[in-house]
Every structure is written in C-alpha cells, then in structure tokens.
Amino acid sequence: MQLTDAVVLVTGATRGIGSATATELARRGARVVAVGRDAEAARAVAAATGGSWVAADLRDPATAEQVVRHAVDTHGRLDAVVANAGVGHAGDIAEMSVGRVAELVEINLLAPLLLARASLPVLRAQHGGALLFVTSIAGALGVPGESVYSATKAGVEAFADVLREEVRGDGITVTTVLPGVVDTGFFATRGRAYDRKFPRPMPPERAAAAIADALAAGTGQVVMPRWLTVPARLRAAAPRLYRTLERAFG
C-alpha cells in the first residue's frame, strides 16, 4: 500500500515499538492515529507526528469500535491498522494470578481480534487496506517460563493465517511481524530482566522500519532478525529435535 497520506491506526503507540512505528510512519507521510492508555503520552506522540490520538484501555471490549470510529470521524477513512499493544510476563504460570493471566489474554490476543473485527467493515467498504499484527518470536518458538505470553502470541499468528484466507479477494493484506529481543521497557514490566548476552536487543527503530516496510509491501510474515527464521522453521518441522537443542544450547 502507499503510505503517503494513508491513515494508520497504531495501538501501544506511546512507548517502545509503537512509538517508534508512529514516528517512522509519519516520516513516510502517513497520518497516524496514536492509541494508548496514557493520555498525555498519546497526545505527545500525536503532536510529534502530526496525527491524532485516542486514550483507550484495550482490555475494554468496546475500545476497538471506539478507536476505529475516531479514525474515520477524524480523518475520513482508515487505511491500515498496526495492532502492536502487548504485555509480557515471565514466570511459572502456577504463580500467576488469575487477573494477570486474563490481562495477557485480553491485551495480547482478544484486543487484536476485536480490532480486526471492528476494522474489516471499513476496509471492505473502501475496497482495500491492511491489518498488521506485531506478535513475537515467542509465538513461533514457545519460550519456557513465558508460556502464557507465548500462547497469546501464537494465537494471533494462527488467527492472522486464517484471516488472510478469509479476506482474499477483498484487497486487504494481513501481516504479522515477529520481533526477537527489542530494547524497550518491555522487560522491566514482565517480571524478569533480560540477562542474556545473545541475541543482543535491537533498537525499536529497526522494528519500526520493518513494520513500515511490511505495510508498504503487503508482506505476509516478517521475522526479525532474519536468522530467527531458522529456529522457527525447525521448531515447526521437528518440535522434538528443537526442544532437545534448546535444552542443550539455550
């Protein structure tokens, strides 16, 4: 799709990958709708990018239709959605509260599904558009100690794969971007700091550039860095062998 003058809704736009993506899309000429829980931060992103903003808690099922309505009412159209908002958790599921499990499912899985549901009638009426879901390499590999997080991201991958077939012929592209380790505040809020020497965290601007490129090209799936495609494919083709190697080498 042509990013110049495209109206792109970005969730989780107030920090990390979302903020960098909003900046990158605006640099390429898009009109950004910044969505985040922090009203002041969302307003600041909108001011910096020349777009609009919505303060919204994606755990509320009504939010999806509200933010889509804002985009259409404010800009007259909606061309693309970047479902980026997410929350992580590291630790044994037996030690997670019910509320924490529900929070991951609501933000990471339910919210993107409802956002797609709310966006599709608009995109279909316009005879085209794009839905892009920022998932995680954890969804492809299944990371021990992050079972709930991995499951939510894998769920979005499965949803996107089927949705891509459902909208075939509608002029709508469906993309997933699976980042590896990104240098954001994500690890400070998941309950465990990132303490591995390899792979080194990539800057969020790199992820943002990949997201913008994928939107423009209509790519189906992007794994970044690209070398992570190798373990992802191995895990899909030979899960037992992959787990054996994972235990041996990490």
The average pLDDT across 216-234 equals 95
Mean pLDDT, all residues of the chain? 94
Assigned architecture for domain 7-249: 3-Layer(aba) Sandwich (3.40)
Q: What is the pLDDT of residue 195?
A: 67
Give the count of alpha carbons within 13 A of 29, CB side only.
Answer: 7
Is the per-residue pLDDT at 32 higher than 90? yes
The average pLDDT across 81-87 equals 96
Is the per-residue pLDDT at 145 higher than 80? yes
| Whole-number Å distance between alpha carbons of 229 and 128 | 29
The average pLDDT across 203-210 equals 96
Q: Sorting pLDDT into bands at 50, 70 and 90, what band is 47?
A: very high
User: What does the pLDDT look like over 66-75, one tens digit per residue?
Assistant: 999 999 999 9
| Whole-number Å distance between alpha carbons of 8 and 208 | 13
The reply to whether 242 belongs to the active site is: no
Spans of all domains in the chain: 7-249
Q: 146 in helix, strand or coil? A: coil
Q: What is the pLDDT of residue 184?
A: 76
Q: Which of 133, 149, 159, 242 is catalytic?
A: 149
